[in-house]
Amino acid sequence: MQNYRAPLWLPGGHLQTIWPALYGQRVEGRAPRFRRERWDTPDGDFIDVDWLQDTGDAPAGLLVLFHGLEGSTQSQYAQAYAGWARSQGLAYAVPHFRGCSGELNCAPRAYHSGDWQEIDWILRRLRARFAAPGQRLIAVGISLGGNALLRWAGELGEAAAQVVDAVAAVCSPLDLAAGGHAIGRGFNRQVYTRMFLSTMKPKALAKWNQHPGLFDRERLGRARTLYEFDDVFTAPLHGFRNVDDYWDRASAKPHLPAIRVPALALNARNDPFVPASSLPRAQDAGRFVTLWQPPQGGHVGFPCGRWPAGHVMDMPRAVGDWLLDASGLRTKVPSRG
């Protein structure tokens, strides 16, 4: 991915973002099948975790994927990573952030980009399940999920190695303010912001119906940007003073030097959501963090192949192979294809 170049028929960050999400082939062979588990949370709520069914009887490791904003198991990247995990004989789990599995959660909260405590609870529960000697746990976070994952790794420092063996973040806005302002301007506002708010606002209103008076309902109705939405909903529901406090404290970029497990941060420099000027440099990252910043790829796109048979599988392969090498799983899990 460090040397990735997009197909000539998909120029520019917008096409490299939109086409893979809508049209790119996601897996080779049969579509992945999942079974769902519901976990009760310590605060009386629940999350849903989807498990890939097509794995061997004794997988040597587990790949955990934390999805992006309003993502789910149905997202193109979750399907593509399922195909890669299946090819490696790995167990594969997709925990859904609260409210993202198709059913509104119960508590007076949702999810956010810096929710490292939730990441910690999920990963520790998964580690307890995959605790046999020699078993590895690797995790990848996409966009919002990647920021939260690296935020967790930085918060825990050396203790993170007791839980995971390697982590990766793909197209994550590690500087949330830079990303949040970028998505609120021009074409981004007209297309991506509208897309996200079309599902986020109805879920927020359903949350208000669960817990009347939880936030200013009229202000939420007027929100036209993620900045406005996060200021009235996300920030106050999760203990932040306002949106600026939330974006500042939740960003993973300042915490990268504290990471003490192998970590990869992949960001395309033409990502419409994440300005290249906001990306971490080597001196910002620390010795445990590897930075891949190819000039092309869009936001969680990285399409490959010839028209019209393009696919989105090269990015999961590249990131997955890095995780295998960094975690020591390479010697335990020979590829199945």
Cβ atoms within 10 A of the Cβ of 241, count? Answer: 12
124 neighbors 116 (Cβ within 8 angstroms): no
Helix (H) or strand (E) holding 134: none
**Angle, CA of 102, 103 and 105, to the nearest 5°:** 135
Indicate which residues carry an active-site annotation: 143, 271, 299
Length of the chain: 337
Residue 265: φ, ψ to 5°: -120, 110
What tokens does 307 get?
């028209």
Looking at residue 32, the DSSP 8-state letter turns out to be P
Residues 101 and 153: their CA atoms lie apart, in Å, by 25
Q: Residue 103, Cα to own-chain centre: how many angstroms?
A: 19
**Angle, CA of 310, 312 and 315, to the nearest 5°:** 135
